[in-house]
């Protein structure tokens, strides 16, 4: 009896031992596989990390190469005049910025003013010249020309702009304040509900159609001097012309917007590569079209064109158009009628001293 009990105890111990052994084997098996999976995962993560680093290096190299092409053209300022198709043009820049490797930033001046204090001008210049993370860049906003050299800035931006026939711009703005545009059609404008036509406004000599409201393109190119904002100032007109010639790379006209984009694509391809084709194919080509606009009658046109303000603003427009047409003469039209660059029209010769071979 005792012997039988001893055998049972020993048997139970053996079974317990076997169970523990099996448990240890199974546990070891799963632990081994877990560690193996963890090791494989770590290796995979390391490989992915190396591939990601390699990809990032390649992308950075591409971006650096692309950015190195900009050289001096690190900053472009488009101090856009209201109601000159500026929204249509700016949207081309926004659509191309990622693809072409540059930044686009809107300059919003408090109170929708068109000029800055001298302190804000200095801040703006310091900001954009030192903000290296956002270079190269196009800055755009409804603000008058700022002379960077006047503030001792080492870096001088490239200025571009668009002008429009002054009466067309005034009429467009008049109806825009009443009916809005197709860009934000549900926004209630300041003169919403006012059904007075531009002709009636001129007949009644209302303030909204005062010819002095045309005095905008001259001060935008003239700058921040007090005289620039004096309607009818001859000095302001001449200063605007001087700045156009000395500080603006290109000043196009609204009526030839596609050609303006083509000139920029030929001149600054790293910013505007593919701009013409994109503009022609994009649905954003004619943004901010005034919802309702009645063309003025002949008597209204005669009255407006007899004013000193119109004559001066139109003189600047015609001056800009003359310069723009001159630029276009050195280009040509392709089979689709698009303005294109002729390619390099110069070469180097008579190079001295000549390279010697050892």
Which among 138, 115, 116, 143 is positioned nearest to 128, based on CA atoms? Answer: 138
Question: Which listed residue (114, 140, 224, 247) is catalytic?
Answer: 140
User: Of 3, 114, 142, 186, which residue is the catalytic one?
Assistant: 142
Active site residue 142: yes
Question: Which residues are catalytic, by number?
Answer: 140, 142
């Amino acid at each position: 009896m005792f012997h039988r009990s001893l055998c049972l105890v020993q048997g139970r111990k053996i079974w317990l031992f076997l169970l523990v052994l099996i448990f240890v084997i199974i546990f070891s098996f799963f632990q081994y596989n877990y560690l193996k999976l963890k090791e494989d995962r770590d290796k995979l993560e390391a490989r992915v990390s190396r591939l990601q680093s390699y990809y990032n290096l390649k992308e950075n190299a591409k971006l650096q190469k692309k950015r190195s092409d900009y050289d001096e053209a690190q900053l472009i300022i488009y101090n856009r005049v209201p109601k000159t198709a500026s929204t249509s043009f700016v949207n081309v820049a926004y659509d191309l910025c990622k693809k072409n490797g540059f930044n686009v930033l809107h300059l919003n001046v408090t109170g929708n003013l068109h000029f800055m204090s001298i302190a804000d001008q200095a801040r703006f210049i310091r900001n954009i010249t030192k903000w290296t993370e956002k270079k190269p860049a196009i800055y755009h906003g409804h603000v008058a020309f700022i002379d960077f050299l006047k503030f001792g800035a080492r870096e001088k931006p490239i200025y571009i702009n668009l002008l429009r026939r002054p009466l067309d711009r005034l009429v467009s703005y008049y109806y825009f304040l009443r009916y809005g545009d197709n860009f934000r059609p549900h926004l209630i404008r300041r003169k919403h509900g006012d059904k007075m036509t531009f002709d009636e406004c001129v007949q009644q000599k209302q303030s909204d159609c005062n010819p002095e409201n045309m005095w905008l393109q001259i001060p935008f190119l003239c700058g921040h001097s007090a005289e620039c904002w004096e309607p009818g100032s001859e000095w302001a007109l001449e200063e605007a012309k001087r700045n156009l010639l000395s500080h603006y790379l290109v000043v196009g006209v609204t009526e030839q917007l596609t050609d303006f984009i083509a000139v920029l694509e030929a001149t600054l391809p790293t910013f505007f590569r593919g701009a013409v084709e994109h503009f022609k194919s994009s649905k954003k080509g004619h943004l901010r079209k005034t919802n309702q606009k009645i063309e003025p009658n002949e008597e209204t046109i005669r009255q407006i064109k007899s004013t000193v303000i119109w004559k001066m603003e139109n003189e600047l427009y015609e001056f800009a158009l003359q310069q723009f047409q001159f630029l276009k003469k050195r280009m040509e039209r392709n089979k689709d009628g698009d303005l294109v660059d002729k390619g390099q029209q110069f070469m180097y010769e008579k190079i001295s001293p000549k390279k010697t071979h050892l």
